[in-house]
Chain A
Amino acid sequence: MSYTLRGRVETRLAVLAPTLAVACVLAAVLAEWWPLEAAALMAGVALALDVVVYHRLLPYQPGWLALPLGLVELGVVLVAMRDLGVRAPIAGAVALFAGSWLFGQLLVHAALPLGRLGYAEDGGELGRLGPALAVTAAVVLAAAGGFAYATRPPVVHLAAGEHAGPIVLDHRQKLVGEEGTIVRGGIRVTADDVTIEHVTVIGGEYGIEVEDAKDVALRDVTVLNARLDGIHVRHSEVTIEGCRILSPPAPYTQGIDVSFSIDLDESHVIGCTIEGGAEGIVTHSSTTTLMGNRVSRTTLRAIDMTEMSMGMIEDNEVIDTLGIGIFCGDHSECMIEKNSVVATRPDPGSDDLTRAGYGIVSHFGATARLDDNTVARSRGPAAFADGRIVGASS
C-alpha cells in the first residue's frame, strides 16, 4: 500500500478509535488510569511516527513491514511509558498494544478495503469518515484528560514553618510543603494515591510511615533524627525519589525500610541520600528497585535486601560503612549491578564472620547476581550459609 499522509493518519485513527474505546472500558473496570494513559501514548507515538518517519521513508509499505514496524512502535511505547512514569503492568500494556495491532491488520487488509471500494487507490484515505474519526479520538482523549484533571487528588499546601505532628493522611491527596516547611513528630499515610513533596520531617518514631497504601509517592522529602526508621513502609507500594535521611547512631535506626509487600507491585527508591543509622535501605519480603542512592556511615549494613525479597540494586554509592556494604540475605534474589562500594570496615565488636568488612555479601540461601560493581577498600564479595554469588565484581 502506498499511503498518502492523510491516508496514513486516517487509517491510524480508524485503528486507534476502538483501541481508545477499549482502554476507556478497561480503565473503568479496573479503576486504573493506565489503560487510557497507555492508549494515549500509543496514539501519540504512532501518529508521530506516521507523520515524521513513515510517510517520508515509506512511499510504498509492503504487508510484511507491519510486523517490524509494530515491534518498533511497541518498544518506543514501552520506553515512553517508563520515562513518563505511566504505571502500567507490562503484560497489560503489551496485550493492549498487541490487540490493537492485530485489529489494525484486520482493518487495513480486510475490513477497510471491503467496506470502502476506493480504500487502496485513495492511499488509505477514508473520506468523510476520516475527520469524524479524528474528532472522535480527540474528544475521547480530551474527555479522559478532563475527567482525570477533574478527579485528581486535592493539593494541600503546607506553609513554611514548623507544624506539630503526627500528621495523618487518610485520604488521597497531594501534600506540598513550601521552602522551610517542617513537620515535627512524623507523617502517617494510610490511603492510596498520596503524594508528599518538599517536606522536612524531624523526630518521631518513624519520620514518614506508610501502611497498606498504593500509589504513594514521596518526593524531595528530608527526614532527620527519627527514633527508628526515617521512612517506614509496610505492605504498600511506594516510589521514593530524591529523599535525604539523617539517622542518629542508635542500634535499631534505619534510613528506609520497605517490608512485606511482595504481593504488591514493585516499589522504588531512587536518588536518595542516607547517612548514619544502623541500616541505610532495608527490604523484607518485597520487590523493589534501589537505584542511584548514596548510603554512608551505617553501623550494621548499608543496603539490605532480605527475607525472600527480590529486586534490583543498581548504580548506588556505598561509602564508609561498618561490617557489610550490600547484603542479600535469606533466600532473596538480588540483581546487584554498577554499584560502588568503598571503605567497608570490619566490625571489631562482632565475632560474626560476615561482618569482616565485605563489600557485598550473599547469605542464607540468597542469590546475588553481580555485574560491573566496583568494590574498593573493602573485602571482596563473599557468600555464607548457602548464599550464592553469580558473576563477579572488580
Chain B
Amino acid sequence: MPPRSRPRVAGFAGDACSLERCAIVGGGLAGLVAYAALRRGGVEPGEIAVFGEDPDPAAVWRRRAAAIRQRWMRSESDGHCLPSTFPGLAVRTALRRRSVRPLVASLLDRYHPSVTEFLDHVERVRERSGWDRSFRPWKVARVRAVGGGFELDGQGPFRHVLLAPGHPGLAMPPELAGDPRAVHAYEPHDYADEVAVVGAGMAAATEWLNALAAGASVVSVRRREPERRPLNLPRPLFTRRGLAAFHASSDAERVSALRRLSAASYPPGRAWDEPVAAAAREGRFRVEAAVDGAAQIVCATGFLRGFHHDQLLDDLVAEHGLRTVESWIAVDADSTVPELTDGTRTLALSGACAQWAFPGADTLAGARYAAHGFLRRVRRCRTR
C-alpha cells in the first residue's frame, strides 16, 4: 500500500522547470540501470525522481536469489547495472583480485560473477550514482498523460518517464493453488525428504541441485525437456543482429517468437548434469509428467506474464488506449510507448513489460537496452 501522504519531491512538483525532469517508476534493478544511464548522460540527481517501495534496488532480487540459494549469476561479465558494457564485472574482479583469470574466463564466455559480487556491485552503483538522493518512497498507482509530460499520482508533470514495475507476481500452476504442500521457488523454503520440482528452467535446475544437496529425493515435473543455452536467449537476440528481424516481424510472428523464447532453459555444463546423473543412478532423481504424492512441491514456474497482471500497466493501457497484442504492450523498438512519446515527452517501459521491443527485457542487458533508448529520448528533447 502506498503511504497516505504524498512525498515531498524537491524540485519536482509545482516547479516551473518540472517539465525538464525525469521520473523512474520502480526502484528495482531495471530502475537502477536506467538511473545509472541517465547519470552517465549528464542528468543530475536533482533532475530525476525514482519512485519505489524499498531504497535498496536489489531488495526484491536478493530475496528471490536467497530463496533458491543461488550462488552464481547466469549472466556474464556484462550482466551489471552500469550503462556501458565495459568495464564489466570480469574486469573489476580481475583488478580487485589482481588476477587475469576472470578476463580469460570472460574471453571464453566462462565468467559468471557470484551473487555476492553482483550484489556488491549493485551497492556500489547505488552509492556512486546518487540513487538515494533521487529515491522517493512511493508506489505509483497511476500514470496519466498531460500536456508535455506525465503526472504520477498527481505529481509532476514529468517530461520523461520510464516504467520499470518489475514482475507482476509469482506464477503458480492453478491446480496447485491452495495445496498446502506447494511453495513457490522464490519464496523461502526448506526441503522435505521427497521434493517435486515443477518447471524446467534455471530456478528449477537450481532447486534440483539444492534439494539433492540437502539429501532429498527429487521428482522433476515437466512437460517437455528444457533447452540448454548459456543465457536466457540465443546471443544474437541481445543485439541488433537478432533484433532487426524480430522488430521487422508481424504481430503474429512476434508473439510466436516470444512464446518460443520463453520456453524453460538452463545452461549446459557438468556442474548441472553430474549431480543429477549421480542422483539418478542412486534412484534419487526422476522425471515425471505430473505431480504425484510428493511431500513437498516446489513450483519453479517463474512469474505471471502479461501487462494485465499489473494494475498500473493495465490502467495505463485502458486509460490511454495503448495498442496491445495479446498480453504484450506494443512498444516501439526503443521500448517507448508510441502513443505517448513524441518530441516533447517520453514514456518508456523497462523489464518484463518491454518484451515487445526486446525479448530478453527482463535481464540486465534488457534493462540496459531500455535505458539507452530512454536516455536517447531524454537527450534529444532536453531544452536547457
A→B interface (CB under 8 Å): 1-4, 7, 59-60, 62-64, 109-110, 113-114, 117-125
- Decide yes or no: A113 and B239 within 8 Å by CB, A63-B109, A121-B369 being known contacts: no
Nearest chain A CB to B153 CB, angstrom units: 31
Nearest chain A CB to B34 CB, angstrom units: 12
Residue-wise interface mask of B (220-252) relative to A, using a CB-CB cutoff of 8 A (1 in contact, 0 not): 000000000000001110111111100000000
Are the C-beta atoms of B87 and A110 separated by less than 8 Å? Answer: yes
Stretch of B11-19, B77-85, B142-150 with 4 or more beta carbons under 8 angstroms from chain A: B77-85
Given contacts A7-B240, A123-B239, 9 further A-B contacts (CB under 8 A): A2-B241, A63-B108, A119-B84, A120-B239, A121-B238, A121-B240, A121-B368, A121-B372, A123-B240
Closest chain A residue, CB of each to CB of B86 = A113
Among B37, B236, B365, chain A packs the most CB atoms within 10 A around the CB of: B236
Are the C-beta atoms of A117 and B37 separated by less than 8 Å? Answer: yes
Are the C-beta atoms of A125 and B372 separated by less than 8 Å? Answer: no
Contact of A120 among B37, B85, B234, B375 (CB under 8 A): B85
Nearest chain A CB to B275 CB, angstrom units: 27
Among B234, B235, B236, B239, chain A packs the most CB atoms within 10 A around the CB of: B239
Provide the bound-state CA to CA distance between A7 and B240, in Å: 9
5 pairs of A and B residues whose beta carbons are closest in the complex: A63-B107, A113-B86, A123-B240, A2-B236, A123-B239
Provide the bound-state CA to CA distance between A64 and B372, in Å: 27
Nearest chain B CB to A54 CB, angstrom units: 12
Provide the bound-state CA to CA distance between A4 and B243, in Å: 10
- Decide yes or no: A62 and B85 within 8 Å by CB, A120-B78, A121-B239 being known contacts: no
Are the C-beta atoms of B244 and A117 separated by less than 8 Å? Answer: no
In chain B, positions 82-107 with a C-beta closer than 8 Å to chain A are 83-87, 106-107
Are the C-beta atoms of B86 and A4 separated by less than 8 Å? Answer: no
Are the C-beta atoms of A64 and B240 separated by less than 8 Å? Answer: no
Q: Within 8 Å of chain A (Cβ to Cβ): is B40?
A: yes
- Decide yes or no: A60 and B236 within 8 Å by CB, A117-B37, A117-B372 being known contacts: yes
- Decide yes or no: A3 and B108 within 8 Å by CB, A110-B86, A113-B85, A121-B365 being known contacts: no
Are the C-beta atoms of B244 and A4 separated by less than 8 Å? Answer: yes
Between A and B, 21 residue pairs with Cβ closer than 8 Å are A2-B238, A4-B240, A4-B241, A7-B240, A59-B241, A60-B235, A60-B236, A62-B108, A62-B109, A63-B106, A63-B108, A113-B84, A113-B85, A117-B375, A119-B84, A120-B78, A122-B240, A123-B239, A123-B240, A123-B241, A124-B239
Provide the bound-state CA to CA distance between A125 and B369, in Å: 15
Residues of the B chain whose Cβ atoms lie less than 8 Å from the Cβ of A4: 239-241, 244
Nearest chain A CB to B285 CB, angstrom units: 32
Nearest chain B CB to A116 CB, angstrom units: 8
Nearest chain B CB to A160 CB, angstrom units: 61
Closest chain A residue, CB of each to CB of B240 = A123
Closest chain B residue, CB of each to CB of A55 = B241
